[in-house]
Amino acid sequence: MATNFPNSPSNGATHTFGGTTYTYNSTKGVWKASADAMAVSDTPPSSPEAGALWFDSSVAKSYIYYNDGSSAQWVQLNPSGGTDGTDGKSAYEVYLESTTDTPPLTESEWLESLVGEDGADGNLCSISENPPADKIVGDTWFKTSCPVGLFAWSGTEWIATSIAGPPGKDSPPSVNYRGTIDVTVSAVLDPSPAEVGDFYINTVSGTAHSSFTGIAGNTVLQDDRIIYDGSQWDAIGSASGTDVFVPLDLSTLTLFV
């Protein structure tokens, strides 16, 4: 159903059609539907004309009254999306559709089948004098009284995982000053026999006597240090050469006045 708006309307002029009131805006030269153009109610307006608008407040949807020439009805504006989809299937339902198990597992059996096997026990380290009775491959054991200490269980035996280092060098013997001596003549020692670390200061330059094993026949000088190493004598130059420092064991040092 058509309508004719008034010709040459003045600004603010109104025209009602199909239940909607329009107001003329002379600045823009248009007829504009008024704010109350859409009916708001829980039930549709009575005796609507084609083009009438209605907001159904009970379902929050908008409609327009549409006449297609053979019938007239309210048609929803901007309808929402389609109908809700069907609910998805549970994982167990998918299993039932795809399984080849005969018969298929019950739901409780199926849930239990999802649980993985227990993992292997972790390795332990025991600290004791005796090896632990309960052990698995890779377990370690620290034997408290063993210098090697740490062992690993191979499945058949305990294997040392650390190797003892070589023994350290013995400390040098203490040096015992015994006084002066003339090494050009037969040795007169005090104490006798000589002990490791005993040393004397030579008083006469010359050839060492044969009793001084190690330096016998060698030329020695006055003030040379004559030291016994446990098997022979050594001469360390002093008067005519560079002095060599000899550490002294003060606990055994004897002073002669």
Instruction: Please tell me the distance from the alpha carbon of residue 155 to that of residue 5, in angstroms, as a whole number.
Output: 104
The answer to whether the bond into 193 is cis (omega within 30° of 0) is yes
Domain locations in the chain as residue ranges? 14-76, 125-160, 176-236
- pTM of the full predicted structure? 0.29
Mean pLDDT by 10 residues, the chain (257 residues): 78 75 82 70 84 86 87 81 78 90 90 82 77 85 74 84 63 74 83 84 90 90 88 73 43 44
pLDDT at residue 217, as a whole number:
92
Distance spanning both ends of the chain, measured CA to CA: 149
Residue 152 φ/ψ, nearest 5 degrees: -125, 140
